[in-house]
Amino acid sequence: MTWDVDHLADINAYCNDVLTGVKPACRWEILSVQRHIDDLQKDEEFPYIFDESKALKIIRFVELLPHVKGKWAAGRGTSKRIRLELWQKFVLGALFGWVHKDTGLRRFRVAYICVPRKNGKSIIAAGIGLYMLTEDGEYGAEVYCGATSEKQAWEVFRPAQKMAERTPAFRRAYGVTSHARRLECDKRGTKRLPDNSRFEPVIGKPGDGASPSCAILDEVHEHTDDVLYETMITGMGARDQPMLLLITTAGNHVAGPCYSIQQDLQSVLEGSIQNDELFGIVYSIDKDDDWTSEQSLIKANPNFGISVGSDYLKARLRDAVQSPRQQNSFKTKHLNVWVTAKSAWLNMVEWNRQADTSLQLEDFVNDPCYKGLDLSSKLDITSNICVFERMLEGQRHFYIFGRHYLPEERIQEDNNKHYQTWEHQGALIPTDGETIDYDLIQSDIENDVRDLGVRALGFDPWGATQLAQNIQGQQPDLDVIEVPQNYSMSDAMKEFEALLKDGRIHHDGNPALTWMMGNVVAKEVDDGKKIRPVKGDREAKIDGAVATLIAFTIALTGKEPTTSIYETRDIRFL
């Protein structure tokens, strides 16, 4: 009995620590706990109750299982039993303790648990799978670990299989037999369960006739569509209290089903939509947190210093701070932050540090000016960038100003609220009608050539050749240079990154350009010796970044970039 009381006390202690700030927690962890507390206090009209005995049952069950990973699983016969952390007890207790007051059936049918790597999520997933196989009272239970690849499908099933194999008392009690690719229950167990219950991994869709009582989808952020999700949901229709468990870290595919489910959960937690059958909790940091701080590591990782070592996380943090291309990976894996690019080119902390909204274009009219143009399709963003060069204390500094154009009708589309904000701020220039007004862009460039003394115009030949020829015809003394968006940009990209780190890249803080800079991924060849700018996501825009690199390239070299230029000239201005 004391053991049971301790479990309930632990759940209550966790809730109290989160809500009082004793435990660092992000907004979504706090709201998930607050939802639980609020529901406990609702009146008799609320159709659900918290059944403490059912909450305790799942916790006690999981704590009878052995560790099969990490330092607590030294080998067969020596594994220590699982001892759940407070947050894990809360998740399991809330998920299984809430039931319908009339039927006693479980309230939550879909559970979304988003937690950084190495924080013990496989214990939760494997424990739930084994519990749903044996103790859920479901005749002919079917438990599936679903994934899009065989490797991922085994990430949950293999620990569950090892737990069963290392616990003879569990196999005897439920008549569980372990096959190469399946766990099965028969009538030989002392619990006298019905036979044909099974637990197995599945890749893609389960076979015809499958009726999942529990489906566990691991690392859902890697799913490119919702086919597996929908297949499992629709297959559960004949079950009384099925469960679809989604357990994942954050990712970069914001157009996929995982991000959409998290958005739905966040709306439920905020109270903007109601869904009493969806449970979820997200362990992450808040948008204004300093991601480089140790406090953020503690906040996002509930098993900080337990299953995921503090020294390990601090080392990964140091690596990410020093290498921009590791930052997005670090943020998704260890801080649970959704990003828009798999491998960011720039350190955006450094980029934002160099923003100076007091910079005025007219203050640079006497400095060398180089212009870059990335001409989009007629329905997308076109960017027209000026890069000025100025000597300060014997070192070259570069100052970036830009104009970004988009058809007014695109800006006003419902899913383009960010564009509307930027238009209001003057960061995005609308052009009349449905397509880009090339005449306006040409006029702006010609005015800049006249007023700013532009020395050279660089352009990506894709789509911009005719406009460049028109400008050359009107400005015969202007150097107009092709700068292809390929690996010829490699040295300029690396130099830009180095100068940014050194505090010698400056910009006026245009939010549209900042967004596009953050969308750039450095695509590598030759083990990173050469890079070029690409989109991290097909929906991302990088036009402003490309135009900036074009202008920067000609500012560094003063001529069209070729292999011989980079082989014979040192462009690292130190």
239 pLDDT band, cuts 50/70/90, is very high
Q: Are residues 271 and 375 in the same domain?
A: no
Question: Where among 235, 256, 282 does a domain terminate?
Answer: 282
Q: CA neighbours within 13 Å on the CB side: how many for 275?
A: 20
Contact yes or no for 371/386 (Cβ under 8 A): yes
DSSP-based three-state secondary structure for 404: strand
Residue 132 has pLDDT above 90, yes or no: yes
Q: How confident is the model over 188-216, as pLDDT tens digits?
A: 666 655 567 899 998 866 666 678 999 99
Examine the domain organization and report whether 241 and 365 are in the same domain.
Answer: no
Angle, helix 511-518 to helix 543-557, in steps of 10 degrees: 90
Burial-class residue 563 by CB neighbours within 10 Å (0-12, 13-18, 19+): exposed
Structure tokens at 324: 């921009």
DSSP alpha helix (H) spans, 244-356: 257-270, 294-300, 310-322, 324-334, 348-353
Q: How much of the chain, in percent, has pLDDT values that exceed 70?
A: 89
Q: Which amino acid is located at 308 in the chain?
A: V
Could you tell me the two tokens for 55?
Answer: 């909450």
pLDDT value for 550: 95
258/179 same-domain check:
yes
Eight-class DSSP state of 82: P
Pairing of strands 176-179, 142-147: unpaired
My answer on whether 73 and 166 are in the same domain is: yes
Give one DSSP letter per residue of 151-166, joined into a string: HHHHHHHHHHHHHHHT
Which of 282, 310, 328 is the last residue before a domain boundary?
282
Which range has the worst mean pLDDT, 25-39, 67-81, 461-475, 530-544?
Answer: 67-81
What pLDDT is attached to residue 255? 59
Question: 293 Cβ partners below 8 Å, 6+ apart?
Answer: none
Statement to judge: residues 258 and 397 lie in one domain = no
88 three-state secondary structure: helix
Q: Is residue 334 one of the residues assigned to a domain?
A: no
By three-state DSSP, how is residue 446 classified?
Answer: helix
Arithmetic mean of pLDDT, 428-450: 88
439 & 546 share domain: yes
Q: What is the DSSP string of 452-481?
A: H-EEEEEE-HHHHHHHHHHHHHH-TTSEEE
Q: Which of 282, 311, 330 is the last residue of a domain?
A: 282
Which residue's entry shows tokens 């690996």? 487
Q: Which residue range is the domain that position 551 belongs to?
A: 350-568
Structure tokens at 556: 């560094």
- Is residue 225's pLDDT more than 90? no
CATH number of the domain within which 463 lies: 3.30.420.240
Domain count of the fold of the chain: 2
Mark whether 364 and 273 lie in a shared domain. Answer: no
Kindly tell me if the per-residue pLDDT of 571 is higher than 50.
Answer: no
pTM: 0.64
- The highest-confidence range among 120-124, 196-200, 392-396, by mean pLDDT, is 392-396
Nearest to 164 by CA among 174, 154, 155: 174
Q: At 178, is the secondary structure helix, strand, or coil?
A: strand
Q: Which of 200-209, 220-229, 375-384, 434-443 has the lowest mean pLDDT?
A: 200-209
pLDDT at 569: 30
Question: What would the pLDDT profile of 273-303 be if each residue is shown by its tens digit?
Answer: 899 999 999 999 998 899 999 999 999 999 9
Q: What is the CATH number of the domain that holds 47?
A: 3.40.50.300
Residue 239's closest CA among 264, 205, 210?
A: 210
Contact (Cβ atoms closer than 8 angstroms) between residue 199 and residue 175 = no
